[in-house]
Amino acid sequence: MNDENKLREQICLLAKSIYDRGLTGGSTGNISSRTSDGGLLVSPTGTSFGRLDPNKLSRFDSKGVFISGDIPTKEMPLHSAFYETRSTAGAVVHLHSCHSVALSLMPDVDEDDFLPHLTPYSIMKLGRVKLLPFYMPGDPEMGKAVRGLAGKRSAIMLANHGPVVAGKDIEAACNAIEELEDTARLAMMTRGMNARLLNASQVKSIVKKFDVEWDS
C-alpha cells in the first residue's frame, strides 16, 4: 500500500471513530489532509463520517485544482484558509460536536479565548480558541474570517455551528478537536458551579513548558 492509500485509509478510520462516538452525526462535518505531493484529500459533500469511502475522497493537486473523486465539501474555503495561512497545517477537521456548539450559544463566553482554562490539555493542544460569529453553512466569508486571523490560531469555533481545528497531521488535528469538545463538555457540566479554573500563573507555566502558541 502506497503512502497516499495509507492516508486515505487513515482519514476514513479516524472519521469513523469520531462518528461512532457521537462527536458529529448524520452527514455533518468535514475533514482534509495534505498529501506528500502537496495536494489535498478531502471528504466529499453530503457524506457521513461513519461511511467514508477511501476511493471516493476528493483529490486536489498541489495548485488547489480538483482532479478526482467525488465533489468536495462545500466548506472548502474554510479548509483552504487554514492551509494558506498556517504553514504547519497538515490537516483540518470540522465537526458539529454538541457541547462545543452549546457553549458557543452562551452569552458570556470570551470571543478571543473561547474555552475556559479547566485543564492543561486544551491549552497544550489548541492554544487560544477564537469564537467567530455565525455564518451560513458554506459561506466563503468564513474563509475570509480565518484569513483575517493571519495564521495566529490553530482552532476556531463557529458560533451556532461547530469547531474547526488545524493540526500538523490528521491524527493531531483529530486529537485536538476532540480535546476542544471534551473541554466544552466540562465547561457545560460545571457551568454555574463556581468551578476552580487554572489561574493566570498556571496557564503561563503551561504555555512556556509546552511551547504553546499563545498570542496576546
Catalytic residue among 4, 121, 171, 213: 121
Catalytic residue check, 135: no
Beta strands in the chain (DSSP E): 30-34, 40-42, 58-60, 66-68, 91-94, 130-132, 155-158, 162-167
Catalytic residue check, 121: yes
CB 44 within 8 A of CB 57: yes
Amino acid at 85: T
Catalytic residue among 19, 75, 83, 178: 75
Amino acid at 30: N
C-alpha cell at 164: 474547526
SS3 164: strand
Q: Report, as residue numbers or ranges, the catalytic residues.
A: 75, 121
